[in-house]
Structure 1
Amino acid sequence: MKRIYLLSIACCTLSISLSAQENNGGAVTADSDGNRILSTDSLITPDACLDSIYQALPEVMITGERPIVKAAQGKLVYDLPRLIQSLPVDNAYDAVKELPGVIEMNGGLQLAGQGVTVILDGKVTTLSTGQLYALLRSIPAGRIEKAEVMYNAPARYQVRGALINIILKQSAGGSGSWQGELYGKYRQKHNEGFEERASLLYNKNKFSTDFLYSHSHGRSYSTTGKEAVHTLADGSVHPIATNEVNHSRSHTHNFRWGTDYNIGKDHRLSLVYNGAYSTVHNHMEIMGTQVSATRGNSSTWLHNGRLDYLTPFGLSAGAELTYYRSPSNQLLHSRMLDGKLSFYTEDCQRINRWKFFLAQEHSLGKGWDMNYGVTYVTGVDNSYQYYFDEESGMENGARAESADGEESQLPDDMHSRRHEQTWNVYIGFNKSFGDKLTIDASLAAKHYKTPVWNRWDWYPVLNLNYMPAPGHILQFSLSSEKEYPAYWATQDAVSYLGGGYSELHGNPLLKPAQEYGARMTYILKGKYIFGVWFAHTKDYSTQLLYQSSQRLVEIYKEMNFDYHQQAGIQVSVPFKVKNWLSSRLTLIGVWQHEKNSHFWDVPFNRKQCYGVARMTHTFTLSSKPDLKLTVAGFVHNKGIQGIYDLPTSGNVDISLRYGFAKSKAVLNLYCNDIFETGQINPRIRFKTQNVTNHYSCFREFGVSFTYKFGGYKEKEREAVDTSRFK
Structure 2
Amino acid sequence: MIQYPQEKFSPINIDQHANAYSIGFWKRQQYLCTRKSLITVAAIYMLLLLTNKASAQQQPTHTVKGKVVQVSQQPVEFATVALYRAKDSSLVKGTLGDMNGDYELQQVSIGHYYVQVSSMGYKTQLSSSFHITNSTTTIDVPTVVLEKNEQQLGGVTVTGTARKPLVEQHLDKTVLNIENSILSEGNTALELLQKAPGVSVDDKGDITLKGRPGVSVMINGKLTYLSQGELMHLLRGTTSSAVSKIEVITNPPARYDAAGTGGIINIVLKKSAKQGFNGNVYTNYARSRDDRYGAGFSANYGGEKFNIYGSYNHAFRGEKEYMDNNRDFYAEEHGKGEIVQSSKLNNGTTEPLYTNNFKLGADVNLNKHNTIGFLMNGNIGTYTNNSTTHNNWYNSQQAFMYKAFSKSKNDQQWTNLTYNLNYLHKFNKHNAEISADVDYAYNDFKGDQLLHTRYINQAGGDLWTPSSRQGKIPSQTNVYVGKIDYTQTFWKDGKLEVGWKTSYVEVNNDSRFDTLLQQNWIKDQSSSNHFKYKETIHASYIQLSKDWKGWKAQVGGRGEFTNTKGHQVTIDSVNTRHYFQFFPQASLSREINSNNLVQASYSRRIERPGYDELNPYRVYRDPNLYYQGNPYLRPQLTSNIELSHVWQQKITTSIYYSITKDVVNWTISQVPNTNTSYEYAVNFKNMVNYGASISLHSNVTKWWATNYFFNLYRTSYDPGEVKATVLDGRTVFAFNLQNAFTFKKGFSAELTANYQSAAMYGIYETKPVTIISAGAQKTFLDNKFTAKLMVNDIFQTRQWRNVAKYDNIIMREHIRFDSRMVTVSLSYRFGKTTNQLRERKQGNEDIQSRVKSGG
Q: Displacement, 1:610?
A: 0.7
Q: Displacement, 1:594?
A: 1.0
Deviations 1:177-210 (A, max 9, x none): 1221222121111111112121112221121122
Deviations 1:491-520 (A, max 9, x none): 1222312x2111111100011111111011
Q: How does 1:675-686 map to 2 (within 5 A)?
A: 675-685=795-805
Which of the two has greater strand per residue?
1
Say whether residues 1:419 and 2:542 are aligned partners.
no
Q: 1:610 maps to what in 2?
A: 732
Contact 2:237 2:355 survives alignment (8 Å): no
Residue 684 and residue 338 in structure 1: after superposition, are their counterparts in 2 closer, same or farther (change >3 A)? Answer: farther
Residue 164 and residue 673 in structure 1: after superposition, are their counterparts in 2 closer, same or farther (change >3 A)? Answer: closer
Q: 2:488 maps to what in 1?
A: 362
Residue 692 and residue 677 in structure 1: after superposition, are their counterparts in 2 closer, same or farther (change >3 A)? Answer: same
Deviations 1:466-508 (A, max 9, x none): 22233533221111111112112111222312x2111111100
Residue 643 and residue 151 in structure 1: after superposition, are their counterparts in 2 closer, same or farther (change >3 A)? Answer: closer
Contact 1:38 1:471 survives alignment (8 Å): no
Q: Give the paired residue count.
A: 663
So what's the TM-score if we normalise by structure 1? 0.82
Structure 2: gaps (5+ residues): 1-83, 109-113, 118-125, 130-156, 393-403, 428-432, 456-462, 566-574, 835-855
Residue 426 and residue 86 in structure 1: after superposition, are their counterparts in 2 closer, same or farther (change >3 A)? Answer: closer
Say whether residues 1:318 and 2:437 are aligned partners.
yes
Contact 1:369 1:431 survives alignment (8 Å): yes
Take 2:773 and 2:512, find their aligned partners in 1: how far apart are those partners?
Answer: 44
Q: Displacement, 1:236?
A: 7.4
Take 1:112 and 1:515, find their aligned partners in 2: how far apart are those partners?
Answer: 14
Deviations 1:566-616 (A, max 9, x none): 10111111233322322222110011011213334x354631101001212
Q: 2:546 maps to what in 1?
A: 431
Q: How does 1:112-151 map to 2 (within 5 A)?
A: 112-114=210-212, 116-127=215-226, 129-130=231-232, 133-134=235-236, 137-140=239-242, 150-151=249-250
Q: Which amino acid aligns with 1:283?
A: N
Q: 2:790 maps to what in 1?
A: 670
Q: Displacement, 1:351?
A: 0.7
Q: Displacement, 1:131?
A: 5.7
Deviations 1:436-493 (A, max 9, x none): 4232423424334334321111111112232223353322111111111211211122
Q: 1:555 maps to what in 2?
A: 678
Contact 2:183 2:774 survives alignment (8 Å): no
Give 3-state SS (helix, strand or coil) of 1:452's partner.
strand
Give 3-state SS (helix, strand or coil) of 1:157's partner.
coil
Q: 1:383 maps to what in 2?
A: 509
Take 1:204 and 1:151, find their aligned partners in 2: how far apart are those partners?
Answer: 38
Higher relative contact order (CA 8 A, sep 6+): 2
Q: How does 1:125-274 map to 2 (within 5 A)?
A: 125-127=224-226, 129-130=231-232, 133-134=235-236, 137-140=239-242, 150-160=249-259, 162-165=263-266, 176-231=275-330, 237-265=340-368, 267-274=370-377
Q: Which amino acid aligns with 2:116?
A: L
Take 1:584 and 1:461, find their aligned partners in 2: how far apart are those partners?
Answer: 29
Residue 210 and residue 342 in structure 1: after superposition, are their counterparts in 2 closer, same or farther (change >3 A)? Answer: same
Q: How does 1:220-619 map to 2 (within 5 A)?
A: 220-231=319-330, 237-265=340-368, 267-289=370-392, 290-313=404-427, 314-336=433-455, 341-392=467-518, 397-398=523-524, 411-450=526-565, 451-497=575-621, 499-548=622-671, 550-600=673-723, 602-604=724-726, 606-619=728-741
Take 1:190 and 1:71, find their aligned partners in 2: how far apart are those partners?
Answer: 36
Deviations 1:19-66 (A, max 9, x none): 55645xx85775352654449996365689xxxxxxxxxxxx9x9969
Say whether residues 1:623 and 2:744 are aligned partners.
yes
Give 3-state SS (helix, strand or coil) of 1:311's partner.
strand
Deviations 1:81-129 (A, max 9, x none): 5x96464334894777666545555546554444544545544554554
Q: Which amino acid aligns with 1:694?
A: H
Give 3-state SS (helix, strand or coil) of 1:154's partner.
coil
Take 2:420 and 2:304, find their aligned partners in 1: how far apart are those partners?
Answer: 23
Deviations 1:145-187 (A, max 9, x none): xx765432222233445345566676777xx512212221211
Take 1:394 and 1:155, find their aligned partners in 2: how far apart are those partners?
Answer: 57
Residue 561 and residue 86 in structure 1: after superposition, are their counterparts in 2 closer, same or farther (change >3 A)? Answer: closer
Q: Which amino acid aligns with 2:435?
A: S
Q: Which amino acid aligns with 1:251?
A: Y
Larger mean Cα displacement after TM superposition, 608-617 or 157-166: 157-166
Deviations 1:245-276 (A, max 9, x none): 22232211111222222223353212211111
Take 1:118 and 1:239, find their aligned partners in 2: how far apart are those partners?
Answer: 39
Residue 127 and residue 238 in structure 1: after superposition, are their counterparts in 2 closer, same or farther (change >3 A)? Answer: closer
Take 1:636 and 1:627, find their aligned partners in 2: how far apart are those partners?
Answer: 31
Give 3-state SS (helix, strand or coil) of 2:239's partner.
helix
So what's the TM-score if we normalise by structure 2? 0.71
Larger mean Cα displacement after TM superposition, 111-120 or 656-665: 111-120
Residue 190 and residue 172 in structure 1: after superposition, are their counterparts in 2 closer, same or farther (change >3 A)? Answer: closer
Residue 88 and residue 250 in structure 1: after superposition, are their counterparts in 2 closer, same or farther (change >3 A)? Answer: closer
Q: 1:43 aligns with which of 73, 96, 116?
A: 116
Residue 223 and residue 112 in structure 1: after superposition, are their counterparts in 2 closer, same or farther (change >3 A)? Answer: closer
Take 1:366 and 1:156, find their aligned partners in 2: how far apart are those partners?
Answer: 21
Q: 1:31 aligns with which of 92, 98, 117?
A: 98
Q: Displacement, 1:653?
A: 1.0
